[in-house]
């Protein structure tokens, strides 16, 4: 186990009707807020009305900024920063999924910064003071609700980049599993893949002596393997929805990566696909992860054997452990397929011609990943294997 630091002060308010507590929480931090959300879905479900009523009943004034898209954009963030400055906003409430939260984080970091907010994303500046944010989560997926990271797409050149700072971690996250009943199955499944991928990025490590986090990772994956198919079958199953929602937070609140080198190579590759083709994040991960696993497993057979046996219940093939590994990878891929997710680039109409460009952009700041360091050639090969 390696030395580490861990802290995560986001307050979780979990369960039925918890969105009704939003004004009580908001009022601890601000009196004039930016209400940030995506499109019409929170209006259709009635969540928007509940939030507005709660704010009005508690004399919290608000300015709205909607229109956050999946793979949130820099231009809207800049608009949000302008509004916050003009209106003297002191708190941002993000109502939605990871894209809305990430957009809110970027706005929060940019309001008091005099330069271009993109500076934080390409490493030219570090976040200073940020205005506080809170969230009502509607899509369990990105883990952004308690994370200190935001991922943004710059339309000029279509770069998708992330940045992290503790000052942009949400103060509270309201998680009501009932709010996820209305998600289309594709979005539930994409979120599920994202959650599992956050565990994969930590689980596949060469750091030794990481028993406790291995077990926590395996447990989180097993919880997803059981509950994702249930939620897809019975969309209003509260038990399954709550397991997925809480697993989504646990998968990415930092705990599962403590004491170990994390990987994140697959996420970097997946981000390039999303940036160029605007494909749902989870769908790029269900495509890339099986290919990545097949490309790298020989570097550390033991770890992949453990994965196959402990996570998927594969029986150990003592004569040929590699077969155990391949069975584990195959079950991963099959699980994604059964959940309705693509597992090859050809399914999502990506042209082989773009492989070079995606690989090039992916390693722009150097090789990606840690389980195996991936250079441009490696990324090309993984993308080819993913067809």
Residue closer to its own copies (CB basis): 216 or 362 = 216
**Is the Cβ–Cβ distance between 189 and 343 less than 8 Å?**
no
Place of tokens 């050809």: 346
CA distances 112 to 26, 127, 133, 351, Å, are 20, 9, 14, 42
Contacts of 86 (CB under 8 A, 6+ apart): none
Q: Whole-number minimum distance, CB 223 to its own copies, in Å?
A: 4
Residue closer to its own copies (CB basis): 2 or 61 = 2
Residues of the shown chain interacting with its own copies in the complex, contacts defined by CB under 8 A: 1-16, 18, 208-209, 211-212, 214-216, 218-220, 222-223, 226-227, 238-239, 242-243, 246-247, 250, 255, 258-259
Nearest Cα to Cα of residue 362 among 124, 99, 161: 161
Q: Whole-number minimum distance, CB 211 to its own copies, in Å?
A: 5
In whole angstroms, give the CA distance from residue 324 to residue 220. 21
Q: Whole-number minimum distance, CB 77 to its own copies, in Å?
A: 27
In whole angstroms, give the CA distance from residue 386 to residue 382. 6
Question: If you write DSSP's letter for every residue of 269-286 in order, what string do you get?
Answer: HHHHHHHHH---HHHHHH
Nearest Cα to Cα of residue 96 among 170, 189, 11, 148: 170
Nearest Cα to Cα of residue 6 among 213, 171, 207: 213
Contacts of 46 (CB under 8 A, 6+ apart): none
Q: Whole-number minimum distance, CB 215 to its own copies, in Å?
A: 3
Q: Whole-number minimum distance, CB 192 to its own copies, in Å?
A: 13
In whole angstroms, give the CA distance from residue 156 to residue 298. 39
Residue closer to its own copies (CB basis): 190 or 224 = 224
Residue closer to its own copies (CB basis): 101 or 244 = 244
Nearest Cα to Cα of residue 140 among 93, 91, 196, 222: 196
Give the Cβ contact number of residue 47 at 10 Å.
Answer: 21
Could you say which DSSP state residue 315 is in?
A: P
Q: Whole-number minimum distance, CB 85 to its own copies, in Å?
A: 29
Q: Whole-number minimum distance, CB 116 to its own copies, in Å?
A: 31
Q: Whole-number minimum distance, CB 212 to its own copies, in Å?
A: 4
Residue closer to its own copies (CB basis): 126 or 211 = 211
Tokens of 155: 């339309």
Residue closer to its own copies (CB basis): 154 or 164 = 164
Residue closer to its own copies (CB basis): 177 or 342 = 177
Residue closer to its own copies (CB basis): 226 or 338 = 226
């Amino acid at each position: 186990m390696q030395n580490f630091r861990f802290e995560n002060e986001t307050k979780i308010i979990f369960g039925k009707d918890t969105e009704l507590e939003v004004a009580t929480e908001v009022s601890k931090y601000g009196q004039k807020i930016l209400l940030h959300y995506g499109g019409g879905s929170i209006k259709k479900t009635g969540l928007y009305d509940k939030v507005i009523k709660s704010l009005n009943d508690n004399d919290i004034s608000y300015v709205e900024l909607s229109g956050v898209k999946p793979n949130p954009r820099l231009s809207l963030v800049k608009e949000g920063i302008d509004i916050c400055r003009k209106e003297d906003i002191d708190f941002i409430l993000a109502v939605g999924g990871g894209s809305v939260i990430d957009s809110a984080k970027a706005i929060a970091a940019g309001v008091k910064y005099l330069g271009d907010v993109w500076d934080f994303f390409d490493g030219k500046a570090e976040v200073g003071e940020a205005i506080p944010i809170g969230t009502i989560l509607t899509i369990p997926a990105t883990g952004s609700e308690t994370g200190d990271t935001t991922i943004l797409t710059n339309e000029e050149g279509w770069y998708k980049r992330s940045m992290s700072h503790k000052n942009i971690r949400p103060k509270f996250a309201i998680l009501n599993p009932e709010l996820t009943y209305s998600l289309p199955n594709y979005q539930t499944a994409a979120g599920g893949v994202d959650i599992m991928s956050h565990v994969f990025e930590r689980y596949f490590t060469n750091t030794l002596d990481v028993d406790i986090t291995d077990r926590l990772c395996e447990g989180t994956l097993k919880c997803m393997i059981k509950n994702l198919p249930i939620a897809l079958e019975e969309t209003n199953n509260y038990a399954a929805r709550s397991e997925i929602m809480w697993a989504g937070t646990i998968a990415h609140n930092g705990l599962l990566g403590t004491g170990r080198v994390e990987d994140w190579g697959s996420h970097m590759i997946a981000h390039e696909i999303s940036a160029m083709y605007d494909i749902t994040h989870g769908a790029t991960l269900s495509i890339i992860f099986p290919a990545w696993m097949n490309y790298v497993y020989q570097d550390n057979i033991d770890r992949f054997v453990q994965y196959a046996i402990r996570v998927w219940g594969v029986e150990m093939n003592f004569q040929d452990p590699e077969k155990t590994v391949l069975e584990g990878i195959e079950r991963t891929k099959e699980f994604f397929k059964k959940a309705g997710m693509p597992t090859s680039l050809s399914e999502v109409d990506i042209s082989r011609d773009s492989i070079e460009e995606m690989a090039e952009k992916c390693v722009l700041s150097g090789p990606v990943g840690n389980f195996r360091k991936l250079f441009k050639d490696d990324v090309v090969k993984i993308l080819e294997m993913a067809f």
